[in-house]
Amino acid sequence: MDKIIFHIDVNSAFLSWEAVYRLAHKGGREDLREIASAVGGDMALRHGIILAKSIPAKKYGIKTGQTILEAKRKCPTLVLVPPNYNLYEQCSAAFIEILREYSDTVEQYSIDEAFIDMSASCHLFGAPEETAEKIRNRIREELGFTVNIGISFNKLLAKMASDFQKPDRVHTLYPEEIKAKMWPLPVSDLFFVGRATTGKLFSIGIQTIGELAAADPAWLKSVLKKQGEIIWGFANGIDLSEVLAQPAPNKGYGNSTTTPYDVTDMETAEKVLLALSETVGSRLRADRVQIGVVSVGIRYADLSHVSHQKVLDSPTNLTAEIYTAACGLFRELWKGDPIRHLGVHTGRADGSDFGRQLNIFDQTDYEKLLKLDKTVDGLRSRFGNDAVMRAAFLDQPIDHMSGGISREKRSVDYDRVAVR
């Protein structure tokens, strides 16, 4: 039996979810999706970029990732709304719940998109296109926002199909349709082809997906290494990946944050590293895993980036050990230039209990440190992250649990926001 794969993608997800919430629950009269609007971070906190934009805003040339300042120059009347990740998570869970009514094999690819393997269940609901229309209509009528659905026999082609004309559409991209529907598209539209690869392909005379599909794969490999083979396969509709009902295990944990001001001293930088180590350590312990590698990344005020990593003597999930390793790496890396962004990441995560390599010169009571960390985790879980705070963070602009989705993006105080 041929596979039947759907890819469901929420149209302008963050903006759509905010628009629906305002219209349904906050007395909003203006639909953000129908005007030039965008979801953006807080310029005062230096998270001032566009996270999502409406289709009317797109017509002004506004792009995701652009600074709010640039976006406002292009469209002075642009309506900006703050991010609300708690709302996004609720909306995401709601649409995934609907998808699970149609198949047991649902892979949530990101907060606003998912794959469904309909091979075993599609016959219960009708033809693939008919079933997709049912799902699309249910999401719009029950949840208030729209999705695009792509249909094919593998994940790659289903995802490509969902990116065809938007919003609120169902598209197919079966093998016999590749030549007409996919090959004329610019090569930059192909999955896994980023800006740098697009430039390389243009330089060797390949501008469309069809031209890439017709190229010699051995020649592409000589030019682009392994990626050349992969994207040649994608251009020809080849993708052997399965829809995974369960997410792959997390092999690395990390966090990063944009600092509230340019950091120019070691003491402040180490406080940021401590805050990041706190959040990384708590996540490791929550998942009952240990890591064997710690890395630190620095983005300077001029946006240049450096990073360095080290392999630990023994696997750990202790905040103190992660922090000590991060500080050591930072001291090796930092040359004194103003810092805009810091990150602490880890690798070689494993749930096995490795034990600890003995060292007669190390008198640290690791069992006591673990008990302390777990006690703090329990208190924060029960009473909130601010239930326990290190004294170093008192009266400081640095959040003691930095990184990930910041607090100001987690929710919105609508009493302080104008709802039109």
Q: Which of 341, 261, 266, 270 is nearest to 305 (CA)?
A: 341
Tokens 């997709």 belong to 132
Radius of gyration of the chain (CA): 24
Closest by CA position to 128, among listed 4, 299, 291:
4
113 is catalytic: yes
Give the dihedral sign, CA 268/273/276/278. Answer: negative
What single letter denotes the amino acid at residue 272? V
Q: Which of 152, 167, 88 is nearest to 116 (CA)?
A: 152
Q: Could you tell me the maximum CA-CA distance found in the chain, to the nearest angstrom?
A: 70
Distances from the Cα of 163 to the Cα of 90, 134, 169, 181, 308, angstroms:
24, 19, 10, 11, 37
SS (H, E, C) 100-140: CCCCCCEEEEECCEEEEECCCCHHHCCCHHHHHHHHHHHHH
CA 307 distance to own-chain centroid: 20
- The answer to whether the bond into 167 is cis (omega within 30° of 0) is yes
Q: Which of 18, 113, 278, 321 is catalytic?
A: 113
User: Residues near 32 by Cβ (< 8 Å), separated by ≥ 6?
Assistant: 15, 18, 19, 22, 54, 79, 81
Burial class (CB in 10 A: 0-12, 13-18, 19+), 55: middle
- Cα 355 to Cα 103: distance, rounded to the nearest angstrom: 42
Active site residues: 113
